[in-house]
């Protein structure tokens, strides 16, 4: 260094206010990202809800169910989780299913009812059984309902 070097040693040090500003900007960017993610999830749920209550079970869903069953059979299983939906989509928010009430099918709505009716009409006469159960409990309350299709031989 020469004696002519008159650089300020504090020049490269950010002020505390500048650091606080950086933190605030980062927090705001994180909040915006979380808001966008929350909005996207809400839109997806709204779309799912609309389709669940206003559309019929489509060929794509039936194909997915067949594929899940085929994979379970290939793995030597006798049961497969073939459909899930929020317990709030039941008329009683899943209470009858959670309590194994024999009248639980009466609480089904939308695609769940359609799938159950199709099971009764087509699959049950061929020896299949269907079990509905709450598969998670977020916050201690019933979350999602799962339909399990079972093809075990009857117990004698």
Q: Per residue in 91-146, pLDDT tens?
A: 999 999 999 999 999 999 999 999 999 999 999 999 999 999 999 999 999 999 99
Using only C-alpha atoms, what is the Rg of the chain? 27
Distance separating alpha carbons of residues 100 and 72, to the nearest angstrom: 25
Mean pLDDT of the chain: 92
DSSP secondary structure code for residue 122 in this structure: I
Predicted confidence at residue 116, as pLDDT, reads 98
> Whole-angstrom Cα distance, residue 144 to residue 50?
17
Model pTM score: 0.76
Share above pLDDT 90 across residues of the chain, in percent, rounded to a whole number: 85
Cα–Cα distance between 129 and 65 in angstroms, integer?
15
Rounded average pLDDT over 23-30: 94
Measured torsion, CA atoms of residues 16, 22, 24, 29, in degrees rounded to the nearest 10: 180
Measured distance CA(3)–CA(149) in Å, rounded = 85
Inter-CA distances, 77 with 54, 97, 114, 115, 147, Å: 33, 23, 25, 21, 15
Which helix or strand (DSSP H or E) is residue 63 part of?
Answer: helix 59-74
From CA 137, how far away is CA 80, in angstroms rounded? 20
What is the Cβ-side half-sphere exposure of residue 92, based on CA atoms within 13 angstroms? 15
């Amino acid at each position: 260094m020469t004696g002519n070097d008159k650089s300020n040693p504090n020049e490269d040090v950010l002020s505390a206010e500048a650091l606080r500003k950086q933190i605030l900007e980062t927090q705001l960017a994180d909040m915006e990202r979380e808001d966008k993610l929350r909005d996207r999830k809400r839109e997806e749920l709204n779309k799912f809800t609309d389709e669940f209550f206003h559309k019929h079970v489509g060929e794509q869903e039936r194909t997915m169910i067949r594929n899940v069953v085929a994979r379970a059979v290939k793995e030597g299983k006798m049961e497969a989780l073939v459909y899930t939906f929020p317990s709030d989509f039941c008329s009683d928010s899943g209470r009858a299913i959670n309590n194994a009430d024999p009248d639980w099918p009466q609480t089904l709505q939308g695609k769940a009812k359609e799938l159950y009716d199709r099971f009764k009409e087509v699959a049950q006469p061929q020896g299949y059984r269907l079990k509905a159960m709450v598969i998670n409990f977020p916050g201690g309350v019933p979350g999602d309902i799962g339909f399990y299709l079972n093809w075990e031989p009857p117990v004698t």
